[in-house]
């Protein structure tokens, strides 16, 4: 299986983004997804900046994919989407059906995790339109994946979100702005103060969700490294790791060791235990409550 680094979901400064990807060039990941996928107001890097970063990663031997936003709300965002989909240098990850429409007939796009690919008919349609890889929606279970794998079209690769806070929902409202009693149009980019999102806790002090601008994420991160053997048996081609502001390199190394068979998956999970102090959010994978931990087999 290959390892992919998903797009940064948070609002980092241009310097932080460039520093992060400078380190990624040395990491044992095969695929890197780039771009702003959450909010069109976040423009620390412009289109030319992203292409520059893409070129540096490609020169380091990485397969680069440009990712689109999951929720389009303005004409300017639609114009940016059209430019991105028209680029002739890198494949594109489509995160809404508008992007799929623009990419239909191109050499091959990735159907991202925000495309509701819940059945084999949808996979067949996406492949017919030009998809060469699809990402399992984070709320689907291993049992559903097994059913879909049995009927997926030949030549269509499968990718699974394997580490990071799960992207659960998007809203036209901005959760972060609301938390600061600010209107969305005058948010002051307060999301930039939370490089890994802002925790949302219950009255019992349970970390239930993480708010990230217009995006709602799981409170705890998902970690499927212990499911490495099952993922391979199911014919999964790519495992996705979602970036965070700290120790992403350690996560990559742990997954690489498990995927390459040089470290037992349970030991690899133990190596990352300090990143899941509140437990892992693996329930969806095991077909139980999403915020549950789950266990193999």
Nearest to 157 by CA among 91, 101, 59, 103: 91
Pair 193, 213: CB distance under 8 Å: no
85 labelled binding-site residue:
no
d(CA 137, CA 158): 11
Sole residue written with tokens 């059945």:
119
Confidence of residue 292 (pLDDT cuts 50, 70, 90): confident
Number of residues written out for the chain: 297
Question: Strand, coil or helix: what is 148?
Answer: helix
Confidence of residue 296 (pLDDT cuts 50, 70, 90): low
Confidence of residue 198 (pLDDT cuts 50, 70, 90): very high
Fold annotation for 2-166+221-286:
TIM Barrel (3.20.20)
pLDDT > 90 fraction of the chain, expressed in percent and rounded: 92
d(CA 279, CA 9): 21
Backbone φ and ψ of 20, nearest 5°: -60, -50
Nearest to 192 by CA among 19, 16, 7: 16
d(CA 13, CA 4): 22
User: Is the pLDDT reported for residue 3 higher than 90?
Assistant: yes
**How far, CA to CA in Å, does 69 sit from each of 97, 99, 124, 215, 238?**
11, 9, 23, 11, 21
Question: Tell me: the pLDDT tens digits for 215-246?
Answer: 999 999 999 999 999 999 999 999 999 999 99
174 labelled binding-site residue:
yes
Confidence of residue 107 (pLDDT cuts 50, 70, 90): confident
Tell me the sheet residues that pair with 66.
Answer: 34, 92
d(CA 29, CA 32): 7
At residue 246, the pLDDT reads 96
């Amino acid at each position: 299986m290959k390892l992919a680094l998903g797009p940064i979901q948070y609002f980092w400064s241009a310097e932080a983004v460039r520093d992060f990807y400078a380190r990624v060039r040395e990491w044992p990941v095969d695929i890197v997804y780039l771009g702003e996928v959450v909010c069109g107001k976040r423009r620390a890097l412009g289109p030319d900046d992203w292409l520059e970063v893409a070129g540096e990663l490609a020169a380091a031997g990485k397969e680069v994919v440009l990712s689109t936003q999951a929720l389009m709300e303005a004409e300017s965002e639609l114009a940016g989407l059209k430019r991105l989909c028209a680029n002739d240098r890198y494949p594109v990850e489509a995160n809404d059906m508008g992007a799929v429409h623009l990419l239909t007939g191109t050499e091959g796009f990735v159907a991202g995790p925000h495309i509701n690919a819940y059945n084999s008919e949808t996979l067949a349609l996406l492949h017919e339109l030009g998809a060469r890889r699809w990402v399992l929606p984070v709320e689907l279970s291993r049992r559903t994946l097994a059913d879909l794998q049995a009927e997926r079209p030949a030549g269509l690769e499968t990718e699974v979100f394997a580490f990071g806070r799960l992207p659960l929902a998007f809203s036209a409202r901005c959760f972060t702005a609301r938390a600061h009693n600010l209107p969305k149009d005058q948010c002051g980019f307060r999301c930039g103060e939370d490089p890994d999102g802002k925790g949302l806790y219950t009255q019992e002090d349970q970390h239930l969700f993480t708010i990230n601008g217009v995006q709602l994420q799981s409170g705890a991160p998902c970690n499927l490294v212990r499911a490495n053997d099952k993922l391979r048996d199911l014919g999964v081609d790519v495992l996705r790791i979602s970036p965070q502001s700290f120790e992403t390199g350690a996560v990559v190394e742990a997954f690489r060791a498990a995927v390459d068979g040089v470290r037992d998956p349970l030991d690899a999970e133990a190596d990352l235990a300090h990143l899941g102090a509140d437990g892992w959010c693996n329930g969806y994978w095991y077909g139980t409550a999403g915020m549950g931990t789950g266990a193999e087999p």
